[in-house]
C-alpha cells in the first residue's frame, strides 16, 4: 500500500504536535512531581502550593476564549509554536525562582503558552482530517501528552532530577529543551502544506466578527453541557494529579514509589484516551461512553481513600481515575467539531470557551484540596469532592442531545 506524501506529512505534523504537547506536560507536571521539595525550599503553605499547582489551569479562565478566537484567525500552527516557546521560557525561569510570587508569575506565563497547544491541536486535527477521524487524531496527540506527564513523575522525579542535582537544574534543562523544540516545530509547520479542511477564518479581529463567533458558540445547548462536563473533568484531573504524590508521601510512601504510582494515573489516561473514543464510534454510544467515564472516575477517586498495607494496591483506583478522565479528554475536544453550527471553522473558539470556563474547575480542584487539607488536616474532603465532580460530569454527558447516537 502506498501513502500519498500529504498523508505522511499530516501524520508527521500531528505527531510532532503531540510531542510538543508532551513537552508541555513534562514541564507542567514537573512541579507537582517535585511539590514537596519545592514547598520546603520556598516555604509554601498548603494553600500556596495548591495555587501553584492550579496556576496553569487558572490562566485558561481569562484567556481561554480569547486564545481560541486568536487561533481561529492566525491558525493552529502559529498557536502551537508560540505556546511551546512560552512554556519553555516559563519553565526555565522557574529554575531560578526564589519565592512564591516569582514562581507564580512564571507558572502563569507557562499557562499562556499552554492555551496555544490546548486549542491549537484540536484545530490542527480538524484541518488535517475529516470530522469522523478527529476523535482518533485527538487520541494520538493526547497519548503523547500523557507520555510527557508520566515521564515527569516516573523519570523526571526519581531519575533525571537527582542526576542533574535537584528540581532547579531539571527545570532549567527541560525549559531549554522546550524552546529548542519550538524551533523544530516552526520548520515542520512551514514545510507541511495546509490540510484538506484548512481555513484562514476571516482573518480579522473586528469586534463584529469576534462577537459573531462567540454568539454562535454560546447559543448552542450542547456547548453549555460540554462546558459543565469540561469543568468537572478538569476539577478531577488537576485536583487528583496535582496532589497524588503528596497524598502518598504524607502516608509515608517513598517519593520514588509515589511518583511511580502517580505515573499509573497517566497510564490509565493513555488507555482511556485510545479505547473510549474507538468504542464510542464502534457502538455509536457517545453519551453512554461519557457517562461511563464519569462513573469510573468517581469510583476510582473514592478508592483513593483506602489505606492498604501494600501501597501498590492503590494502583487499581489510580488507574480507574486515569481511565475515566482519559476517556473524557478526547471527547471534550472532538465533540464540537461534530456539532451543527460549530464544525472545524469554530473549533478553536468552541474548545477555548469550554476551557475558559472549565478551567475554573481545573484551578479549584487542586486549590480546594489544598485548602481543605489546611482546614481539616486531611485530604479526605477534597478527594470526596473530586468523586462528586466526576458524577456531575457523567450527568452532563447523558444530557447531550445533538449527537448521532442511537441511544
List Cα–Cα distances, 45 to 213, 258, 373, in angstroms: 42, 21, 11
For 339, other C-beta atoms within 10 Å of its C-beta total 21
User: Which value, to the nearest 10 degrees, does the dihedral of the CA atoms of residues 159, 329, 253, 36 take?
Assistant: 70
CA neighbor of 68 nearest in space, from 118, 107, 28: 118
pLDDT given at position 209:
65
- Read off the pLDDT of residues 359-405 as tens digits, 9 standing for 90 and up: 788 888 988 998 898 899 888 999 999 999 999 999 998 888 755 55
| Structure-block grid coordinates of residue 156 | 523526571
Number of H helices, E strands in the chain: 16, 0
Could you list the pLDDT tens digit for every one of the 407 residues in the chain? 344 546 778 888 999 999 999 999 999 999 988 988 999 999 988 788 888 987 887 888 888 777 877 887 788 899 999 999 999 999 999 999 999 999 999 999 999 999 999 888 988 888 888 766 777 787 888 889 878 988 898 899 889 999 999 999 999 999 999 999 999 999 998 887 775 655 554 455 566 666 777 776 777 777 888 899 999 999 999 899 888 888 888 887 777 788 788 888 888 988 998 898 888 877 778 888 899 999 999 999 999 888 766 667 788 999 999 999 999 988 887 777 777 767 666 777 777 788 788 878 888 898 899 889 889 988 899 999 999 999 999 999 888 875 555 44
CA neighbor of 126 nearest in space, from 45, 241, 14, 230: 14
Instruction: Report the predicted TM-score, pTM, of the whole model to 2 decimal places.
Output: 0.74
pLDDT given at position 208:
66
- CA distance linking residue 289 with residue 397, whole number of Å: 8
- CA distance linking residue 102 with residue 127, whole number of Å: 38
- Read off the pLDDT of residues 302-358 as tens digits, 9 standing for 90 and up: 998 887 666 677 889 999 999 999 999 888 877 777 777 676 667 777 777 887 888
- Distance linking the first and last C-alpha atoms of the chain: 37
- Is the CB of residue 17 less than 8 Å from the CB of residue 192? no
- CA dihedral sign of residues 64, 69, 72, 77: negative
CA neighbor of 266 nearest in space, from 156, 397, 118, 136: 156
| Structure-block grid coordinates of residue 245 | 504524590
CA 378 to chain centre: 26
- CA distance linking residue 371 with residue 82, whole number of Å: 34
- CA distance linking residue 33 with residue 205, whole number of Å: 40
Q: Any residues with CB less than 8 A from the CB of 63 and at least 6 apart, and which?
A: 111, 112, 115, 356
pLDDT given at position 406:
42
Structural domains of the chain, with CATH:
5-187+206-398 (1.20.1250.20)
Amino acid at each position: 500500500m502506498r501513502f500519498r506524501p500529504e498523508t505522511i506529512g499530516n501524520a508527521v505534523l500531528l505527531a510532532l504536535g503531540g510531542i510538543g504537547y508532551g513537552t508541555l506536560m513534562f514541564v507542567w507536571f514537573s512541579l507537582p512531581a517535585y511539590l514537596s521539595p519545592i514547598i520546603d525550599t520556598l516555604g509554601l503553605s498548603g494553600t500556596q502550593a495548591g495555587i501553584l499547582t492550579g496556576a496553569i489551569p487558572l490562566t485558561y479562565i481569562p484567556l481561554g476564549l480569547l486564545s481560541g478566537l486568536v487561533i481561529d484567525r492566525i491558525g493552529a500552527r502559529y498557536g502551537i509554536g508560540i505556546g511551546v516557546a512560552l512554556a519553555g521560557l516559563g519553565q526555565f525561569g522557574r529554575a531560578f525562582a526564589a519565592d512564591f510570587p516569582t514562581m507564580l508569575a512564571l507558572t502563569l506565563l507557562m499557562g499562556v503558552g499552554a492555551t496555544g497547544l490546548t486549542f491549537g491541536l484540536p484545530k490542527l486535527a480538524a484541518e488535517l482530517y475529516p470530522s469522523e477521524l478527529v476523535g482518533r487524531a485527538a487520541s494520538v496527540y493526547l497519548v503523547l501528552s500523557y507520555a510527557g506527564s508520566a515521564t515527569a513523575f516516573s523519570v523526571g522525579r526519581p531519575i533525571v532530577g537527582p542526576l542533574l542535582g535537584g528540581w532547579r537544574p531539571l527545570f532549567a534543562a527541560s525549559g531549554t529543551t522546550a524552546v529548542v523544540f519550538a524551533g523544530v516545530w516552526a520548520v515542520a509547520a512551514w514545510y507541511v502544506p495546509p490540510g484538506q479542511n484548512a481555513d484562514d477564518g476571516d482573518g480579522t479581529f473586528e469586534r463584529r466578527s469576534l462577537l459573531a463567533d462567540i454568539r454562535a458558540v454560546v447559543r448552542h445547548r450542547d456547548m453549555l453541557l460540554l462546558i459543565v462536563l469540561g469543568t468537572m473533568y478538569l476539577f478531577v484531573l488537576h485536583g487528583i494529579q496535582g496532589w497524588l504524590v503528596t497524598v502518598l508521601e504524607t502516608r509515608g510512601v517513598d517519593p520514588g514509589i509515589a511518583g511511580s504510582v502517580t505515573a499509573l494515573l497517566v497510564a490509565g489516561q493513555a488507555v482511556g484516551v485510545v479505547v473510549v473514543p474507538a468504542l464510542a464510534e464502534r457502538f455509536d454510544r457517545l453519551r453512554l461512553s461519557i457517562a461511563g467515564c464519569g462513573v469510573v472516575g468517581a469510583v476510582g477517586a473514592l478508592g483513593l481513600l483506602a489505606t492498604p498495607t501494600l501501597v501498590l494496591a492503590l494502583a487499581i483506583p489510580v488507574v480507574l481515575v486515569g481511565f475515566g478522565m482519559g476517556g473524557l479528554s478526547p471527547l471534550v475536544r472532538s465533540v464540537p467539531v461534530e456539532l451543527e453550527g460549530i464544525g472545524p471553522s469554530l473549533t478553536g473558539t468552541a474548545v477555548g470557551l469550554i476551557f475558559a470556563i472549565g478551567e475554573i474547575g481545573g484551578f479549584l480542584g487542586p486549590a480546594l484540596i489544598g485548602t481543605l487539607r489546611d482546614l481539616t488536616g486531611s485530604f479526605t474532603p477534597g478527594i470526596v469532592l473530586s468523586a462528586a465532580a466526576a458524577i456531575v460530569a457523567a450527568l452532563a454527558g447523558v444530557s447531550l442531545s445533538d449527537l448521532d447516537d442511537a441511544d
